[in-house]
Structure 1
Amino acid sequence: MANLLDRLIGVISPDQGLRRHRSRELLKRAYEGASARDGWRPKRAGASANADHAADARTLRVRSRSLEQNVPYIAQGIRAHSANIVGTGIIPRWKDSKEHAAAWQEWAPFADADGGLDVYGLMLLAHQTAQRDGEVLVRIRNRRPSDGLPVPIQFQLLEIDWLDDSRMGRIDGYNVIEGIAYNAIGKVAGYYVFDQHPGEPIIFGGRRATSKLVPAASIIHYFAPSRPGQGRGFPRVAPIIARTRDLMLYEDAEQHRKNLETRLAVIGSGDVDGMADGESETVKESRSMGELPSGGMMQVPSGTNLTVVQPNAAPGYVEYLKMQLHLIAAGAGWTYEMMTGDVREVSYTSARIRRLDYRREAEQEQWLHVIPKLIAPMVRAFSNACELAGRVKKADYNLRYATPKWEYTNPKDDVASDLDEIAGGLSSFSEKLRGRGYEPDEVFEELAGDIEKLRKLGILDVIVMMRKGKQFGDSAE
């Protein structure tokens, strides 16, 4: 709206008045979400991902751990997601080197520097830890030949607490941000790692934990970045911590109210002087006439009026709880069913649609985060150790990775669909086998061996005839 000055300028110079009007219109916001009238002031506007991490990550990590320890559906969501992403292990498959594959198979049970897990158990624990804490460190431990390992290398999982995030600024010639040292071109040069967990109840060696620089080549820092330039990770449940805590408080309040609903209370009013001397004095002081005996009869003083108090049940608890759980599952990137185990209202169609969406997200995480940032560095370090130990002539990085297979929602229809795609030239046997978690070459070799063995035993034709008979039966149905 034009003010007095605009109108005066418009009278003297209409062209100048129109330009002022256009300029004022351009200042108006095109997006209602950018309006300042609603009072919304985001925290630390314009801060970098590292600044946000330095301010909030420690608190988020502590709260995320607490949720996993105390909230059943959060713990189940983390377990179920890791079961889909890592499962029983993401297996490296060398294309041209059987020596690498044999060495991996022999070495896998001894991969853990702490001696508790095999290499696939390390993968699972690393992924679960990164979900909960936002990030995890895997320290590469090169061993001596005298240690007697099939390949002289092991991996040690370290919680991110081992990283000394108090190290900030210019240290040892590096730019250090939250314990990570960067060189002049911004590449990670090393990590300031404590010599023991700073949260240990016992101080070993009689001194507090101190940190020293460990070269980046000896550390695998696994996390899933969500912003450019992000050097540290946030817990997966960070967006839902506040909502989950509010729901926990609501559940506690509802549980307390349910306890009150099951109790029958009686308020007595009137004169209690008719009771025995000791009893009347006690009632006057405590204002309590005692407990209600189950199934019994009792006498009260004459003139006492009794009022029964029985709380009414409040409806809508289950509906509200389920709605909040759906929002929590969506915020964490899980499905409601895998987080709660509740499949009562799931149809085949809805389960298939949600499963397909979740599968796309899971495969994205596998191939863009887990494999390149966790599994591949472990495999490269293993391959290098094989070469140095003389197990292979040369380190081989030419390999594929077999991820856990996805179970079919409807096996009969899904298998028939896969076969139709192969028959129509839209896919290959190898692609479908890899999608199910199998290595095609191994399957083909095994099939060839089975067929040759059945032919020698003279029962291959019988199996083919039985199969044809079953197909005829299916057609008749």
Structure 2
Amino acid sequence: MGTVSTRAKAIGRATWLDRAIGWANPKQGLKRAWFRDALVRAYEGASKADGWRPRRPGASARADYVADARELRHRARALCANVPYVAQALSVMVSCTIGVGVLARWVGDREGLTGKRWKAWTAFADYDGLLDFGGLMAKAWHTMKVDGEVLVRLRDRRTSPTTAPLQLQLLEIDWLDVDRCEVRGDNEVIAGIEYNGRGERVAYWLFDRHPGDVGFRAMLRESQCVPADEIIHLFNPARPGQQAGITVLAPVIANVRDLQVYEDAEQARKNLEARMGAIGEWDESLLDGVKLPDPGISADGGARPATLDLGELAGGGIVALPPGMRNPQFIQPTAAPGHVEYVKHRQKIIAAGLGVPYEYMTGDMVEVNFSSSRVRTNLYRREVEREQWTLLVPMFLAPIARRWAQLDELVAGPLPGGVFADWTMPKWPSVNPAQDVAADLSEIKGGLQSISEKIRERGYDPDQVFTELRDDLRRLKDDGTLPLLAALLGAANPLELLAALGGDKTTTEKPAQKL
């Protein structure tokens, strides 16, 4: 029955040619109409009836990058520099992803010597001599979010005889000669990146200084070939085959700009609301010697009424009418409703496009309660952790650790077998500290996580924490306050702690004498 109905509809949409063929061959005419009906699109989103034509359909990720990345980058920088909530959103991304820095844990480093050398190197990691390794992480991540990508040049440079001869130079993507596209033997240079026949990166063509810099040398720039193993290219390869990055602001640039234009217009209207206007009539009998301006000639050739600008009316004051004015009518603009609701609605769309909670971006906590805050924070935490372990670690931290380990051998010799860097991300702020601490202790008691890992999640060095705890306990023991403190904390036998810390063997045997 369904087939008959479908064919009946097809007959109803038959063209004149179908009907002409059907007059001579009814079966063939019916087949033509039926197969044409099968070509009707199954997805309404693919219909072209609304006139929507996507830009550059079918273009590769590389083609889209070459066409739009530079303009998007310039606009993103302008918005980040001038729009407060956009700047706050970028700051939140860096704070939640990097914090004060991701901590390295050298697995297999039994004596802790590798970790100590790494920690000593992090203070001198910046090629410009301004930041430590944690600061470089934050700046690289912020630049990657705004520009879509950032370059890190690995400089073999000795800073002291006891640290690995390596420093990191952060470069904006403007240093890359994206206009260089050429064939060099078996290799091909596309947008400043040189690839071999297998599509592997073999070199980057970089300027010797920022092309937008000032000075005579900036005008005489010429890109130079830098081996790819000296460059870390940090970006988010969202599309298969994507070789460079697009700013995270790309989906919201138009929305932010439109909202700013609306805000400017609203601000201008608010300024008018704070003022008063007046319209009055002139009475020549009251002019008392005041000369009216020349009325001039209007566009239709007639006399144009004379007007006189008396300036702005002062708020809160009493202003006398000028000679010749009568029957003044004061004009007070009225406020337009819905401004706050519209701005919040648009900002929520922008926050969704950036992937940042609206409350984090704007600081507006009016609609937030404890449950909704935890749900949104947990979801955003998953998104941040995904970027930490799929972008930050494999594309930025791991290559730096490998290069550092190679160069550290020049100072300290080969690393022990099986030693490699693991990473501990910064701990998220606690919404309910009592519950979170209890949950951490339960995980430690259950063997799900170590004490050291929990300490690293809070942003501290476990070795330093354990050393300080041991020193504090010994100090309390030496001044005699440890037993009292332990008793106040509920310890069953506080003096056993002294023996474990290196006290004499008689500590637990003669507690009365020690007390």
- Which residue matches 1:185? 198
3-state DSSP of counterpart to 2:292: helix
CA distance in 2, matches of 1:369, 1:143: 26
Shift of 1:412: 1.6
Equivalent AA in structure 2 for residue 218 of structure 1: E
1:36 is aligned to 48
Distance 1:275 1:395 in 2: 102
Match of residue 134 from structure 1:
148
CA-to-aligned-CA distance 1:235-289 (integer Å, 9 cap, x gap): 1111100100000101100000000001011011233463243453489866223
Distance change (3 Å), C-alpha of 1:286 and 1:171: farther
Who wins on radius of gyration, i.e. which is larger?
Answer: 2
C-alpha separation in 2, matches of 1:41 and 1:462: 78
Alignment of 1:246-285 (within 5 A): 246-272=258-284, 274-281=286-293
Choose from 126, 150, 153 the match for 2:166. 153
Q: Secondary structure of 2:54's partner?
A: coil
Q: Given that residues 433 and 440 in structure 1 are in contact (C-alpha distance below 8 angstroms), is that contact kept between their aligned partners in structure 2?
A: no
For residues 20 and 455 of structure 1, do their structure 2 counterparts lie closer, same or farther at Cα, with a shift above 3 Å needed?
Answer: farther
CA contact (8 A) 2:162 2:411 kept: no
* Alignment partner, residue 331 of structure 2: 309
CA contact (8 A) 2:151 2:231 kept: yes
- The structure that is helix-richer by fraction is 1
> What are the equivalent positions in structure 2 for 1:89-104 lying under 5 Å apart?
89-97=101-109, 98-104=112-118
* Alignment CA distance shift 1:178-1:297 (3 Å): closer
Q: After TM superposition, give the deviation of residue 464 of structure 1 in Å.
A: 5.5
Matched, 1:365 2:380: no
Compared CA separation, residues 149 and 172, structure 1 to 2 (3 A): farther
Q: 1:407 and 2:429 equivalent? A: yes
Mapped partners of 1:332, 1:51: distance in 2: 23
CA spacing shift, 1:439–1:274, aligned 2, 3 Å:
closer
User: What residue in structure 2 maps to residue 113 of structure 1?
Assistant: 127
- The answer (yes or no) to whether the contact 1:99–1:392 under 8 Å persists in 2 is no
**What is the one-letter code of the residue matched to 2:138?**
L
CA-atom RMSD, angstroms? 3.0
Secondary structure, counterpart of 1:304 in structure 2: strand
Moved more, 24-33 or 440-449: 440-449
| Residue type of the alignment partner of 1:103 | R
* Partners of 1:138 and 1:156 within 8 A in 2: yes
Q: Could you tell me how far 1:185 is from its partner in structure 2?
A: 0.3
In structure 1, the partner of 2:404 is: 382
Report what 2:70 is aligned to.
58
Deviations 1:189-224 (A, max 9, x none): 1100001110011123x8611101100011111111
Instruction: Indicate the SS of the match to 2:286.
Output: coil
CA distance change for structure 1 residues 412 and 15 in 2, over 3 Å: closer, same or farther? farther
Please report how far the alpha carbon of residue 75 of structure 1 lies from its aligned counterpart in structure 2 after TM superposition.
0.9
| 1:410 positional shift | 1.2
1:151-177 CA-to-partner distances (Å, cap 9, x unmatched) read 211111111000000011313542111
Q: Are 1:70 and 2:82 counterparts?
A: yes
Query: Residues 183-332 of structure 1: matches in 2 within 5 Å?
Result: 183-204=196-217, 208-272=220-284, 274-281=286-293, 287-293=308-314, 294-301=316-323, 304-332=326-354
Contact 1:111-1:154 at 8 Å conserved across structures: yes
CA distance in 1, matches of 2:441, 2:325: 87
- Alignment: residue pair count: 466
Deviates more, 1:36-45 or 1:102-111: 102-111
TM-score with structure 1 setting the length: 0.88
1:460 Cα deviation from its structure 2 partner = 6.2
Aligned partners of 2:72 and 2:250 also within 8 Å: yes
Q: After TM superposition, give the deviation of residue 323 of structure 1 in Å.
A: 0.8
SS of structure 1 residue aligned to 2:123: helix
CA distance 1:420–1:386, change in 2 (3 Å): closer
> What is the CA distance between 1:388 and its match in structure 2?
2.7
Cα distance change on mapping 1:291 and 1:334 into 2, 3 Å: closer
**CA distance, structure 2, for counterparts of residue 129 and residue 13 of structure 1:** 70
Deviation string 1:108-132 (CA, Å, 9 cap, x unpaired) is 1111111111111111111111111
Measured at CA, do residues 279 and 356 of structure 1 come closer, stay the same or move farther in structure 2, by a change above 3 Å? farther
Q: 1:338 and 1:391, CA in 2 relative to 1: closer, same or farther beyond 3 A?
A: farther
Provide the residue aligned with 1:174 in structure 2. Answer: 187
1:396, 1:288 → 2: CA distance?
85
- Distance across 2 between alignment mates of 1:291 and 1:282: 22
Instruction: For 1:411 and 1:56, locate their aligned partners in 2 and report how far apart those are by CA, in whole Å.
Output: 46
Whose relative contact order is higher, 1 or 2, with alpha carbons under 8 Å and at least 6 apart?
1
CA separation of 1:179 and 1:271: change in aligned 2, threshold 3 A: same
Contact 1:273-1:280 at 8 Å conserved across structures: no
SS at match of 1:213: strand
Query: Aligned-pair distance for 1:320?
Result: 0.6
2:449 equivalent among 413, 428, 434: 428
- The verdict on how the C-alpha distance between 1:92 and 1:419 changes in structure 2, with shifts beyond 3 A counting, is closer
Supply the AA of the counterpart residue of 1:201: V
List per-residue Cα deviations over 1:307-348 (Å, max 9, x = no partner). 111100001111111111111111011111221122232111
Q: Percent identity?
A: 43
Tell me how far 1:449 sits from its aligned partner: 3.8
Change (3 A) 1:290 1:179: closer
Distance in structure 2 (CA, Å) of the matches to 1:110 and 1:70:
33
Does 2:166 correspond to 1:143? no
Partner of 1:474: none
What's the TM-score, normalizing by structure 2? Answer: 0.82
Structure-2 separation of matches of 1:51 and 1:142:
34
Q: 1:277 aligns to what SS in structure 2?
A: coil
Q: Which moved more, 1:408-417 or 1:5-14?
A: 5-14
User: Which whole-Å CA distance do the structure 1 matches of 2:433 and 2:274 have between them?
Assistant: 48
Q: Cα distance 1:201–1:464, how it changes in 2: closer, same or farther (>3 A)?
A: same
Structure 2 residue matching 1:156: 3-state secondary structure: strand
Residue 108 (structure 2) pairs with residue 86 (structure 1): no
* Bigger mean CA deviation after superposition, 228-237 or 341-350: 341-350
Structure 1 residues 291 and 161, CA gap change in structure 2 (3 angstroms): closer
Q: Structure 1 stretches of 5 or more lacking a match?
A: 470-477
SS at match of 2:88: helix
Inter-CA distance 160–88: structure 2 relative to 1 (3 Å threshold): same
The amino acid that maps onto 2:449 is S
Alpha-carbon spacing, 1:297–1:238, altered in 2? closer, same or farther (3 Å):
closer
Q: What SS does the corresponding residue of 1:267 show, helix, strand or coil?
A: strand
In 2: Cα distance, 1:350 partner to 1:211 partner: 52
- State the partner residue of 1:473: none
One-letter code aligned to 1:372: P
